[in-house]
C-alpha cells in the first residue's frame, strides 16, 4: 500500500476489492464484514495507514450497502491523510478515499430511489471512506451510473474530469474557435481539458515540463486533440506569442503548477484574459507583474471543486457526471 501511495502524485492508481456475501437476521439487514484502509492520526501515508477488518453495519430503513469495485488514489487523498487538506474526515478511525465506483449489494426496505442489486453507483457528491470493501450510506448519497464503460473511468469521473468541465464553463464565455492555455497538461485534468475543449470547438495550447520523454508526451497530447504543445524551455523567448502561429491568443488559462509555469500562462493570455489556479504542484507562489494587471487587465481566479459541490449543486453534478461518462462511452474522453 505504501509504495502505491508514493506513486500517486504522477498517476492515478485504483484499489480493487473482492466481494463477500452479506447476511441478515429476521429483523435487520447487515453489510458483510469488510476491510478498510484506516488512520487514527495525520502523517505520512506509509506510516499512519493500516488495513483493518470492519464489523458488519446495519442498513436501516433507507440505507444502501454497496460493494466497492474500484477507488482511485488522488493527490488530494494523500493530502487528507497528511492533514494538509482543508476538508478532512474526523479522527480517529478515519477511512481513507473520496471517490470510486461501487455495485449495489443490498437496499433497505424503505429505499425509494430506483436502486437494485447489481447497479453501478458512485457517491455524488463524493464522500469520505471509499477505501473499503463494503460501504453503507443513505440512499441519497448514491448516484446510479452506466455500467458499459471501463470501471476505472466510472471510479475517477468525479474529481478530475469534473474539474476540467467546470473550469471550461464557469469563468469565461468561450465560443468555438477560441483558445485556452494550460500547464500541467499531462495530468488527468489536463488531458480532460484538451478533449472537452475539442468537443466544444475550442483550441488548446499546452505547456509541459522539460524532461526525458517530452517528445512522446507531446505526441500523446496531440493524439488527444491538443493544438499546440510546448515545453517550458521552448517558451523562454522574448516574443512568446509568435509561437502561436494562426492560433488566437487565449482568453482563459489553467494553472495547477505555480511558479514560472504560471508566469508563462500570463504571458500568453490575451488582453483582459483570465487565469484560473486549481493546484500548486511546484509549491511555488504565483507571481504577477504589475504591468500584467495595469496594461493587460488580467484577472486571477481560483477554483476548488469541493467548494463548488458544497453550494447545493448535487443535481447539476450528477447531470455532468452522466454527460462525461457518455463521452467516455462514445470514445471522446479518455485519460490515464
Q: Average pLDDT for residues 183-192, to the nearest whole number?
A: 98
Which of 5-14, 24-33, 217-226, 324-333 comes out lowest in average pLDDT? Answer: 5-14
For residue 142, the 8-state DSSP code is E
Which of 123-137, 139-153, 162-176, 301-315 comes out lowest in average pLDDT? Answer: 301-315
Q: How many CB atoms lie within 10 A of CB 221?
A: 21
pLDDT value at position 17? 52
What residue spans of 61-138 are helical by DSSP H? 75-82
Q: For residues 328 and 336, what is the distance between their CA atoms, to the nearest angstrom?
A: 13
Q: For residues 72 and 74, what is the distance between their CA atoms, to the nearest angstrom?
A: 6
Domains of the chain: 2-158 (3.90.180.10), 160-303 (3.40.50.720)
State the pairing for strand pair 94-95/203-208: unpaired
Q: How many CB atoms lie within 10 A of CB 212?
A: 7
> 273 near 293, Cβ under 8 Å?
no
> 26 near 101, Cβ under 8 Å?
no
pLDDT in tens, 210-238: 999 999 999 999 999 999 999 999 998 87
Q: Give yes or no for residue 1 having a pLDDT over 70.
A: no
pLDDT in tens, 260-313: 999 999 999 999 999 999 999 999 999 999 999 999 999 999 999 999 988 777
State the pairing for strand pair 299-302/274-277: parallel
Q: How far is residue 306 CA from its own chain's centroid?
A: 10
Of 131, 189, 148, whose CA–CA distance to 14 is shortest?
A: 131
For 19, phi then psi, to 5°, come to -75, 155
Indicate which residues carry an active-site annotation.
85
Task: Note the maximum CA span of the chain.
Answer: 77
Amino acid at each position: 500500500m505504501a509504495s502505491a501511495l508514493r506513486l500517486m502524485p504522477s498517476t492515478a492508481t485504483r484499489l480493487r476489492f473482492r466481494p463477500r456475501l452479506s447476511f441478515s437476521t429476521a429483523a435487520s439487514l447487515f453489510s458483510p464484514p469488510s476491510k478498510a484502509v484506516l488512520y487514527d492520526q495525520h502523517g505520512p501515508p506509509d506510516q499512519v495507514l493500516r488495513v483493518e477488518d470492519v464489523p458488519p453495519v446495519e442498513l436501516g430503513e433507507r440505507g444502501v450497502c454497496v460493494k466497492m469495485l474500484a477507488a482511485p488514489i488522488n493527490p488530494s487523498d494523500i493530502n487528507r491523510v497528511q492533514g494538509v487538506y482543508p476538508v478532512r474526515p474526523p479522527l480517529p478511525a478515519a477511512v481513507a478515499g473520496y471517490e470510486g465506483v461501487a455495485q449495489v449489494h443490498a437496499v433497505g426496505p424503505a429505499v425509494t430511489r430506483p436502486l437494485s442489486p447489481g447497479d453501478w453507483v458512485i457517491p455524488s457528491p463524493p464522500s469520505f471512506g471509499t477505501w473499503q470493501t463494503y460501504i453503507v450510506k443513505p440512499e441519497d448519497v448514491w448516484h446510479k451510473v452506466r455500467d458499459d464503460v471501463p470501471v476505472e473511468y466510472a471510479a475517477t469521473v468525479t474529481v478530475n474530469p469534473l474539474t476540467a468541465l467546470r473550469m471550461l464553463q464557469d469563468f469565461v464565455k468561450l465560443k468555438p474557435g477560441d483558445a485556452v492555455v494550460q500547464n500541467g497538461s499531462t495530468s488527468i485534468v489536463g488531458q480532460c481539458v484538451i478533449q472537452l475543449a475539442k468537443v466544444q470547438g475550442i483550441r488548446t495550447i499546452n505547456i509541459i515540463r522539460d524532461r526525458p520523454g517530452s517528445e512522446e508526451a507531446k505526441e500523446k497530447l496531440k493524439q488527444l486533440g491538443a493544438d499546440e504543445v510546448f515545453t517550458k524551455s521552448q517558451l523562454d523567448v522574448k516574443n512568446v506569442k509568435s509561437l502561436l502561429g494562426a492560433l488566437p491568443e487565449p482568453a482563459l488559462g489553467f494553472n495547477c503548477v505555480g511558479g514560472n509555469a504560471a508566469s508563462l500562462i500570463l504571458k500568453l493570455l490575451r488582453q483582459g484574459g483570465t487565469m484560473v489556479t486549481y493546484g500548486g504542484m511546484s509549491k511555488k507562489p504565483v507571481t504577477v507583474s504589475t504591468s500584467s494587471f495595469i496594461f493587460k487587465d488580467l484577472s486571477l481566479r481560483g477554483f476548488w471543486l469541493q467548494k463548488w459541490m458544497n453550494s447545493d449543486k448535487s443535481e447539476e453534478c450528477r447531470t455532468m457526471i452522466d454527460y462525461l461518462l457518455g463521452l467516455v462511452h462514445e470514445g471522446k474522453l479518455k485519460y490515464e
